[in-house]
Structure 1
Amino acid sequence: MKKTTTLLCASLSLSVAMAAPLASAKDMVISIWDGYMAPDVLEKFHKATGIEADKSLHATNEEIMGKVMASGGAGYDVLFVSSPFAEVLQQQGLLAAIDPAKVPNLKNLYPEAKALAYDAGNHYSVPYTWGTTGICYRADKLSQAPQSWNDLLKPSDAVKGKVTLLATDRWLLGAGFLANGWTVNESQPEHIKAVRDQLIETKKRILSFDDTTFYSKLASGETLMAHAWDGWCNYGTQANADIKFMVPKEGSDLWVDTMVVLKNSQNLDAAYQFVNFMLAKENHAWVAENILYKVPNQAAMEGLDKELLNQYPNLTTPPAELVRQELLRDVGGSTQKAYTRAVTEIMAAQ
């Protein structure tokens, strides 16, 4: 999950005026998060295929969804979006079918990546990165490793004021849902309210809500435990080898970032060639090697340097174990609004 995003899987009946899609004289336009593919990949793609592409950056899923929903997808060819947003785009009839004959490198995907419930068979989306969420912690400063979401939500006196939680609603509320034995895609109002109330109490015992700098706080010793995405915990490990990652005993979520092709693309063949190019072993391996996220590409993962895997053990999580976590799904507009309202109330509470 590109973590500059906020995973708000709303109905996306957006009424605000959005910027027009990027105009391009090149063969196609790709919209992606900053730093999410190799800097020279478009140059390499052009050399390999003769196709020129423009890169348009979006900071959040919501930003690109607003533009695409407002324009019907005109002006874009390939999008990188998180899987619940791919679900919404498909429901709105905005996605082209993935033609396996034109994307032969689908063969590089793990079998588990071809059977994800939101799009089993990769009919309209291609997984690009995947991972889970858990606890990132200082193994050298805790008497024992954390075991449960409650180690974060009900921090002991020993770590009071030295804990951070993610602020993004799906993960903040998800930790509370899982701690209570509920689904990460919870929709029952009474469960949302109960977790809201619990997190208002938790807020009194933590340092902060932090989506972006938690790993540096761990490295400096300002915090001892952080609610964290697995890939971002690796940034902490990069700075301090005593920073470890674990998935709580209650389980966690499975997040997936995807590539999708717009139905209104005027360059469908070029778009399919780009998706296929990104699934090539060496191109997909760059993601794991440089942004330290797991990729669902068996050929790419099996070719990673053993030293890298030893340094970042969560990169070695087997797909069969990863997919045992609960897949984040689109929860619909009314539930998403309830999530947003609950998190707003948590942040406003004194």
Structure 2
Amino acid sequence: MKRRRFSRIVAAVLAAALCALPLAGCGFGSSKDEVNVIAWDGTWSDQMFKDFEAQTGIKVNVTYIDDTETLASRLIHGGSSYDVIDLEGAYINLFVKYGLLAKIDDSKIPNQKYIVKAYNKGAPGDRKLKYTVPDMAPDYTTVVYNKETCPIEIHSFKDLANPKLKGQVAMISATGSLYGEALKALGYNPSTAGRKEIKKANDLLAKIKKNVKAFAGESAVSQLENGECSVAYCWDYPVLCNDSKANWSKFGYVKLSDGYEQYQQYWAISKRSKHKEAAEKLINFILNPKELAKSYKAYGGVPLEKREVIGKYLKSDYYSNPVIAYAKDMADGNLWNVSVNDKQTEIMDEYYTKLMGKTN
């Protein structure tokens, strides 16, 4: 299943934009028999939404996005019209802080009982899941490598600075993930807003950049699969495993000794939703194991729900995919995750601009 993470953006700008939502009134209509969804592309089954329409008579209008700028733009220009939002955990604190989410009535979403207990945890800003419901199992940002062509053993993020990797590294360009990982590798708290620490993280990234062949935006899959790069810092191992069984033995992942990022996606309902009842009904429908399985059939990934309830709707060999073992292995490591911090993001963006302005 493709997982599109939030790309580089200044949190303060996003916050200011979201605060302007009451001014926005364009977008979909306000019929009580519809629900408007904004969700990440390449994740959800269209058939699932059609089934909801057929069973309930409620029309589903889905807007698909694949980067943060588009999400922010859609919310600004049609913010008062969206009901259900597919949110990355790091940004939930921001949405809660500015009063943009409605509290969810858990009694209306009984299918939450099917979620694996370890996955049914809230993100910073909503640890008790008052405003959100997990919509995916956790995933991880780490090093993925070609077992046949990677010239060194990698244990730490700092190993990506090894000269033997010259011209062989691909990296996603998400500021928070890059600087958070560099901070963690240097022994600092990945959520620190200390300029001194972030500068040192930038120095490490500058060393690694000498080996970078491509900054791959939201995904390094193409660079790995076409052989352009033998190693990548990314969140793409599940995608590679879903793309081809040949990738199962071709690529490996690193359980970084200095720690690695865990992230998760959540469903939320806009505070300004005109269809809250329909929105809760849709979220509950998506969490019906039979329906949720349709998205895994289409895009793969680690099931959010317990095997005994969702496994019967998946292929008989679904749990043979190495991404299942990967998820279990990565879940007990040196994990880190952070929520968006205006000050930290501002400093990171400042250094990122300088970093990308330098030549290899």
Q: TM-score scaled by structure 2?
A: 0.85
**Where do residues 126-205 of structure 1 align in structure 2 (5 Å cutoff)?**
126-129=133-136, 130-142=138-150, 145-152=153-160, 154-157=161-164, 159-205=165-211
Cα pair 1:30 1:54 within 8 Å, conserved: yes
User: What is the match of residue 231 of structure 1?
Assistant: 238
1:95 aligns with 2:101: yes
Alignment size in residue pairs: 346
CA-CA distance at 1:93 after TM superposition: 1.0
Q: Give the one of 327, 341, 354 matched to 1:317.
A: 327
Cα pair 1:178 1:251 within 8 Å, conserved: yes
CA-CA distance at 1:347 after TM superposition: 0.8
Alpha carbon RMSD of aligned pairs, Å?
2.9
Q: Which moved more, 1:301-310 or 1:199-208?
A: 301-310
Report the Cα distance in structure 2 between the residues aligned to 1:324 and 1:279, rounded to whole angstroms: 30
Letter of the 1:347 partner, please give it.
M
Residues 115 and 42 of structure 1: CA distance in aligned 2, closer, same or farther (over 3 Å): closer
Q: Give the one of 273, 281, 284 matched to 1:273.
A: 281
User: What is the match of residue 349 of structure 1?
Assistant: 358
Report the Cα distance in structure 2 between the residues aligned to 1:231 and 1:313, rounded to whole angstroms: 6
Cα pair 2:4 2:40 within 8 Å, conserved: no
Q: How many percent of aligned residue pairs carry the same amino acid?
A: 20
Cα pair 1:128 1:295 within 8 Å, conserved: no
Report the Cα distance in structure 1 between the residues aligned to 2:330 and 2:174, rounded to whole angstroms: 27
Letter of the 2:318 partner, please give it.
L
Cα pair 1:8 1:170 within 8 Å, conserved: no
**Where do residues 111-126 of structure 1 align in structure 2 (5 Å cutoff)?**
111-118=117-124, 119-126=126-133
Q: TM-score scaled by structure 1?
A: 0.87
* Unaligned runs of at least 5 residues, structure 1: none
Residues 311 and 144 of structure 1: CA distance in aligned 2, closer, same or farther (over 3 Å): farther
2:266 match: secondary structure: strand
Residues 327 and 297 of structure 1: CA distance in aligned 2, closer, same or farther (over 3 Å): farther
Report the Cα distance in structure 2 between the residues aligned to 1:160 and 1:320, rounded to whole angstroms: 27
Report the Cα distance in structure 2 between the residues aligned to 1:259 and 1:225, rounded to whole angstroms: 32
**Where do residues 64-83 of structure 1 align in structure 2 (5 Å cutoff)?**
64-68=71-75, 73-83=79-89
User: What is the match of residue 293 of structure 2?
Assistant: 285
1:101 match: secondary structure: helix
Letter of the 2:111 partner, please give it.
N
Report the Cα distance in structure 2 between the residues aligned to 1:121 and 1:319, rounded to whole angstroms: 26
Post-superposition CA distance 1:115-142 (Å, at most 9, x none): 3352233210111122011111111234
CA-CA distance at 1:113 after TM superposition: 2.8
1:6 aligns with 2:7: yes
Letter of the 1:60 partner, please give it.
D
Cα pair 1:233 1:245 within 8 Å, conserved: no
Letter of the 1:329 partner, please give it.
S
User: What is the match of residue 252 of structure 2?
Assistant: 244
User: What is the match of residue 298 of structure 1?
Assistant: 306
Residues 320 and 82 of structure 1: CA distance in aligned 2, closer, same or farther (over 3 Å): same
Q: Give the one of 255, 268, 281 matched to 2:263.
A: 255
Residues 121 and 74 of structure 1: CA distance in aligned 2, closer, same or farther (over 3 Å): same
* Unaligned runs of at least 5 residues, structure 2: none
